[in-house]
Amino acid sequence: MATLNKLTAACWKNFQGDRLNKQLFLNVRALHKSAASEALGISAAGEETVPETLITPADVGDKTAIKTLREMPGPSTVSNLIEFFWRDGFSRIHEIQLEHRKKYGKIFKSRFGPQLVVSVADRELVAEVLRAECVAPQRANMDSWKEYRDMRGRSTGLISAEGEHWLKMRSVLRQLIMRPRDVAVFSDDVNKVVDDLIKRVCILRTQESDGATVQNVNDLFFKYAMEGVAAILYECRLGCLENEIPQETQDYINALHLMFSSFKTTMYAGAIPKWLRSVIPKPWEEFCLSWDGLFKFSLIHVDKRLTEIKAQLDRGEEVKGGLLTHMLITKEMSMEEIYANLTEMLLAGVDTTSFTLSWACYLLAQHPHIQQQIFTEVTKTLGPGTVATADDVPRLPLVRGLVKETLRLFPVLPGNGRITQDDLVVGGYFIPKGTQLALCHYSTSMDEENFSAASDFRPDRWIRKDTSDRVDNFGSIPFGYGIRSCIGRRMAELEMHLALARLIQRFHIGISPLTADVKAKTHGLLCPAAPINLQFIDREN
């Protein structure tokens, strides 16, 4: 187990003062819901934003040069309603971004009922917005998340918190997990999960008539991602990759699936006014039910670790541990904040990583010559059969390029959001404080101006040949940017790099005849629209 911290009996006395005595209920997939709203530009609460008629560039210098939101192009409310509710635009948000970019340009506005959203679909303008951020940027309206937490007496975590509370928790967590070297200590733990992933591939393929196919690889990677992230967050193994999944782990998976399968319903949970809940109760009920399941799981695992620490101390043993142990010992966050953050991080860390791994393997299978190049890099760098660790990753630029290129072509969050906290001028338009912006990352990463042959899969485009050959990252920022960017980025990268290096070392990955061309669809996140079935054929040693 990675060791971040040692606790002495003296510390424990102090620590015991904070014993939990509150009962907990819990929850996940928050990021996904809010991410979708952001990609769409719909605030979680469907709240009225600044009326366009009131908007004037009063304080911004040369008024003639700066245009108002009224002058900004964009689809009409009616065409938006038809697009989303009639033509199921919710599953094509990424494509709609491209269509609207082509039709309306780099910056355009949309209206979803009372909610006005300004979409920014240009690399330079996205950079402008993100560089102008204040100390505690706001992504989207999280009122429904907060309401659930208030109702259950829970705290907000990083995804749902705002302002000073968010900043306080972020300052704690960023010191623990934001740099590659912070997460490198988890390399051995993650590699044990990779061992189980490889074993699972071998078991699953024996169940198929060709002895090679793993059906719906996302199911496998979902379990890998959950096991991997929990090994880091909860410092324990969950048994997701076993033949028999323990009941409490299965309950969590069910809660996560409920949130995912009822995604649209739960998205409306925030949009439907409270007074309508007695008439249309299902969205809010499902929203609460899935959060209950997700929080419950975190409570079980956090409390378990707390009990272990106490027992070790009672026996006079030195306490060693990882992230959770550190948080429990240092008490920089309250117990409620620890529960909430672990719940939200687990929610944010499973589907994101598993979809990316599924797409990466699919792309490798579709491009055998690129797969061969990466295999050569891995074997030459590591030597045959050597297991890569975090320290080896910088020497595997093509493996890193594979992850970056996969996320460029299939950014799990095709769009992100920001609520402006000051008046801004973007692309020549005056954007008043409080406006919901949708940053169109899918569109910028598919833009030929940013990436030549943008629809081609070319992991080597991310390799810097010399200092003049810099890849401008604002075209593709799958983990976001700046102070509010993804806190789990380094964990996710570690899990993906180690898994992919080992899979490529061990297997030739091919397309199974059971798989047709798989397209992407938006379902909260950008995910495969059909199961990806792949063959894993042993490489000759």
Residues 6+ apart with CB under 8 A from 514: 213, 215, 533
Q: Does 485 bind ligand HEM (CB under 6 A)?
A: yes
Number of residues in contact with ligand HEM under rule CB under 6 A:
28
Place of tokens 């108002």: 68
CB 165 within 8 A of CB 136: no
401 vs 510, which CB is nearer to ligand HEM?
A: 401
Q: Does 491 bind ligand HEM (CB under 6 A)?
A: yes
Burial degree of 128 (CB within 10 A; 0-12, 13-18, 19+): middle
Token digits of residue 148: 């659930």
* Residue among 488, 510, 524, 528 that touches ligand HEM (CB under 6 A): 488
- Cα 346 to Cα 221, 233, 341: the distances in Å are 15, 8, 8
H or E segment and range at residue 313: helix 282-314
CA-only gyration radius of the chain, Å: 23
450 vs 476, which CB is nearer to ligand HEM?
A: 476
145 vs 430, which CB is nearer to ligand HEM?
A: 145
Please choose, out of 7-15, 205-213, 269-277, 486-494, the segment that lies near ligand HEM by the rule CB under 6 A.
Answer: 486-494
234 vs 429, which CB is nearer to ligand HEM?
A: 234
User: Closest distance between ligand HEM and the C-beta of residue 114, in Å?
Assistant: 24
Q: Interaction with ligand HEM in 159-188: which residues (CB under 6 A)?
A: 159, 170
Where do runs of H (alpha helix) occur along 410-511? 441-445, 489-506
* Residue among 260, 481, 507, 536 that touches ligand HEM (CB under 6 A): 481
User: Closest distance between ligand HEM and the C-beta of residue 267, in Å?
Assistant: 17
486 has binding-site annotation: yes
Place of tokens 């929203």: 287
User: Closest distance between ligand HEM and the C-beta of residue 315, in Å?
Assistant: 31
- Residues in contact with ligand HEM, shown as a per-residue x/- string from 411 to 440 under the rule CB under 6 A: -xx--x------------------------
Residue 536: which of 494, 505, 490 has the closest Cα? 505
Q: Interaction with ligand HEM in 12-51: which residues (CB under 6 A)?
A: 31
Residues 6+ apart with CB under 8 A from 465: none
Q: Does 229 bind ligand HEM (CB under 6 A)?
A: yes
Please choose, out of 12-20, 64-72, 340-348, 376-384, the segment that lies near ligand HEM by the rule CB under 6 A.
Answer: 340-348
Q: Could you give the CA distance from residue 467 to residue 251 in angstroms, rounded to a whole number?
A: 50
Residue 527: which of 364, 354, 365, 400 has the closest Cα? 354
* Residue among 397, 478, 524, 528 that touches ligand HEM (CB under 6 A): 478
- Residues in contact with ligand HEM, shown as a per-residue x/- string from 120 to 159 under the rule CB under 6 A: -------------------x------------------xx
Residues 6+ apart with CB under 8 A from 111: 74, 76, 77, 80, 117
234 vs 536, which CB is nearer to ligand HEM?
A: 234
Q: Interaction with ligand HEM in 341-400: which residues (CB under 6 A)?
A: 344-345, 348-349, 352-353, 356
Helix (H, G, I), strand (E, B) or coil at 488: coil
* Residue among 7, 329, 486, 498 that touches ligand HEM (CB under 6 A): 486
75 vs 415, which CB is nearer to ligand HEM?
A: 415
Token digits of residue 328: 């429990």
Q: Does 480 bind ligand HEM (CB under 6 A)?
A: yes
212 vs 348, which CB is nearer to ligand HEM?
A: 348
190 vs 348, which CB is nearer to ligand HEM?
A: 348
User: Closest distance between ligand HEM and the C-beta of residue 386, in Å?
Assistant: 25
Q: Could you give the CA distance from residue 376 to residue 386 in angstroms, rounded to a whole number?
A: 13
479 vs 536, which CB is nearer to ligand HEM?
A: 479
What single DSSP character describes residue 8?
-
User: Closest distance between ligand HEM and the C-beta of residue 531, in Å?
Assistant: 20
Token digits of residue 159: 């995804």
Please choose, out of 43-51, 86-94, 206-214, 410-418, the segment that lies near ligand HEM by the rule CB under 6 A.
Answer: 410-418
How many CA atoms lie within 13 Å of 264's alpha carbon, on the beta-carbon side?
8
Q: Does 260 bind ligand HEM (CB under 6 A)?
A: no
Q: Does 263 bind ligand HEM (CB under 6 A)?
A: no
Q: Could you give the CA distance from residue 147 to residue 47 in angstroms, rounded to a whole number?
A: 14
Q: Could you give the CA distance from residue 102 to residue 437 in angstroms, rounded to a whole number?
A: 18
Q: Could you give the CA distance from residue 353 to residue 31 in angstroms, rounded to a whole number?
A: 13
Q: Interaction with ligand HEM in 88-127: which residues (CB under 6 A)?
A: none
435 vs 512, which CB is nearer to ligand HEM?
A: 435
Q: Does 405 bind ligand HEM (CB under 6 A)?
A: no
349 vs 510, which CB is nearer to ligand HEM?
A: 349
H or E segment and range at residue 314: helix 282-314
Q: Could you give the CA distance from residue 442 to residue 108 in angstroms, rounded to a whole number?
A: 15
The DSSP result for 188-250, as a single string, is HHHHHHHHHHHHHHHHHHHTSTTS-EESSHHHHHHHHHHHHHHHHHTSS---TTSSS--HHHH
Binding site for ligand HEM (CB under 6 A): 31, 139, 158-159, 170, 229, 344-345, 348-349, 352-353, 356, 407, 412-413, 416, 478-481, 484-488, 491-492
Residues in binding site for heme: 486
Residues in binding site: 486
